[in-house]
Structure 1
Amino acid sequence: MSHANAALTPRARLRLARLVVDRGWTYTAAAKMFLVTPRTAKKWADRYRSEGAAGMSERSSRPHSSPTRTSPQLVRRIVRLRWRHRLGPVQIAGRLAMSASTVHAVLVRCRINRLRHIDRVSSEPVRRYEHPHPGSLMHVDVTKFGNIPDGGGHRFLGRQQGDKNRETTANRTGQRDHRHHPRTGTAFVHTVIDDHSRVAYAEICTDEKATTAIGVLHRAVAWFAEHAVTVERVLSDNGSCYRSHAWRDACTELGITHKRTRPYRPQTNGKIERFHRTLADGWAYTRLYESTQQRNDALPGWLHFYNHHRAHSAIGDQPPISRLTNLPGHHT
């Protein structure tokens, strides 16, 4: 396929070349007809003489050899400095006595030109994985959001007005700590996300105890079953509710294999951690809520938007629900 600014398409090149070769037109006359230079007309005519119609397609402009290309040994040194020391192109170029633009070109070619492409803990390139079908692995976790005082919180109204609203709410509810400071409480959002499709299920609860987490798991399994998805495994962190015997027995009862992440390694459960950030930006902190109940009421609508309408970059800019075929028995 010719590039966007090409004066001639492959079909027009063939017509031009045939006018010159088969009908005896001059290069100048053919070039004038097709609004190109005589040199261009000669190029396509010569190509037609040697290769025929097949020679009218584009060719790569990459040279057959690149004697001045950076050596593999030097590339390895550049990559090592990038991984181990997080150095930028200018710093690496200073250490290796070479051009910063050359270093940047090597980093782009190796796809580590941005630090976010590298795992900041292990200094290795980020290894992305994806289970083969919906239900093969579910990520489960709990995230916390402070309850909102009557009238709104400090995030949108400022610290002074937010503190006044907290005091007014505490006078109404009587919730204060041992120092008589107002308490608004915490909302525990239990989340379940499918590894393959990124379809999410979430509930707002008052705690993160094992019995609560088990109840959420049962309801999530039923919800996914309504979408023709059978849950096979769940992956959680090492929170107390997920280490309990009750959780283990619940997974066994549901026929689910439970796996836990390595301690102090949240990257293993990174998909749900990233979902929590999206949840915070898109739902919890997206606008002024005048009460906790108002925010709670907005969650189902936002979840529907996330699952059915929000483009997800990790799955080809399609909404998560697009990966559920809903064919009976397809993912069992």
Structure 2
Amino acid sequence: ELGISKTSVARIVKDAGLSRLRALDPPEPDNRYEHRAPGDMLHVDIKKLARFHAPGHRVTHTRANGRSEGAGFDYLFVAVDDHSRLAMVGVYPDETKRSAADFLDRALRAMERLGAPVRRVLTDNGKCFTSDLARAVYAQHNTSHRTTRPYRPRTNGKAERFIQTLLREWAYAATYTHAEQRNAALLPWLRWYNEQRPHASLQGCAPITRLPNVLGNDT
């Protein structure tokens, strides 16, 4: 079986235009479940994050600073592999069907290159994930698409918890001078999350250790 070195994982995700993550985990729900193999299920979600031109009140503790009316938003497309917890993030200027299709294609290609082609993708019922463009991406990668139950966001709980971690440990963890600086800090932080950070639900291991084709993890 052809192995993939751990250093190659960062390059694969970077080449795909994606990023990855870390943090102290939010608690797992009582009805926790886990698919048996990498690629069995990929959880996908979106988080809107305000752009800014100066540090805001979350870090300055005053609303007199960091006011950036009209700065707009970044849209964080997030994908989490159910079994390994490997995470990927794409920063987009909108949440249109084209942006969603682009992220889905990049994430699915990255998983394929890591030796874990995705069998199922789980999203909410948003139009960007159910559009003709998105359906074409699922078909191209021979991936089935499932949607969460209405008004039951915990169905996609792994993505939700990852977003909590993302906000707490990256977006709001430092005093960034502007949104571009914040975004530049994403990739190295996510690399640490996937390749080094101990994960409570993985018995203290990092997500990368659950990828069978990563060199040193072959079975």
* TM score, norm. by length of structure 2: 0.82
Q: Which residue of 1 aligns with 2:91?
A: 204
- Does the CA contact (< 8 Å) of 2:75 and 2:94 recur in 1? yes
Q: Which structure has greater helix proportion?
A: 1
Distance 2:172 2:92 in 1: 18
Q: Which residue of 2 aligns with 1:162?
A: 66
Q: Kindly indicate whether structure 1 or structure 2 has the higher relative contact order, using CA contacts under 8 Å at least 6 residues apart.
A: 2
Q: Which runs of 5+ in 1 are unaligned?
A: 1-115, 120-125, 167-181
Q: Which runs of 5+ in 2 are unaligned?
A: 1-26
Shift of 1:257: 0.3
Q: Which residue of 2 aligns with 1:289?
A: 176
Q: Which structure has greater strand proportion?
A: 2
Helix, strand or coil: the match of 1:269? helix
- Give 2:196's match in structure 1, choosing from 306, 309, 312: 309
Q: Which residue of 1 aligns with 2:143?
A: 256
Distance 1:273 1:253 in 2: 27
- Give 1:153's match in structure 2, choosing from 38, 43, 56: 56
1:129 aligns with 2:10: no
- Does the CA contact (< 8 Å) of 1:148 and 1:289 recur in 2? no
* TM score, norm. by length of structure 1: 0.55
**Residue type of the alignment partner of 2:65:** Q
Of 152-161 and 136-145, deviating more is 152-161
Distance 2:108 2:171 in 1: 25
- Does the CA contact (< 8 Å) of 1:308 and 1:321 recur in 2? yes
Helix, strand or coil: the match of 1:193? strand
**Residue type of the alignment partner of 2:130:** R
Q: Which residue of 1 aligns with 2:105?
A: 218
Aligned residues: 190
Q: After superposition, what is the alpha-carbon deviation per residue over 1:153-203, rounded to whole angstroms, capped at 9, x for unaligned? A: 22212201223xx3xxxxxxxxxxxxxxx3111110001110000000111
Classify 1:327/1:318 alpha carbon distance in 2 versus 1 (closer, same or farther; 3 Å): closer
Shift of 1:294: 0.3
Helix, strand or coil: the match of 1:189? strand
Distance 1:246 1:287 in 2: 37
Shift of 1:244: 1.6
Shift of 1:214: 0.7
Distance 1:327 1:295 in 2: 30
**Residue type of the alignment partner of 2:141:** L
Q: Which residue of 1 aligns with 2:167?
A: 280
* Superposition misfits of 4+ residues, deviation over 3 angstroms: none
Helix, strand or coil: the match of 2:64? helix
1:237 aligns with 2:124: yes
Q: After superposition, what is the alpha-carbon deviation per residue over 1:52-100, rounded to whole angstroms, capped at 9, x for unaligned? A: xxxxxxxxxxxxxxxxxxxxxxxxxxxxxxxxxxxxxxxxxxxxxxxxx
Distance 2:127 2:104 in 1: 15
Distance 1:154 1:314 in 2: 33
Distance 2:156 2:35 in 1: 13
**Residue type of the alignment partner of 1:256:** T
Distance 1:317 1:327 in 2: 18
Across the aligned residues of Structure 1 and Structure 2, the Cα RMSD in angstroms comes to: 1.9
Distance 1:248 1:263 in 2: 20
- Give 2:205's match in structure 1, choosing from 318, 322, 326: 318
Helix, strand or coil: the match of 1:139? strand
Shift of 1:239: 1.3
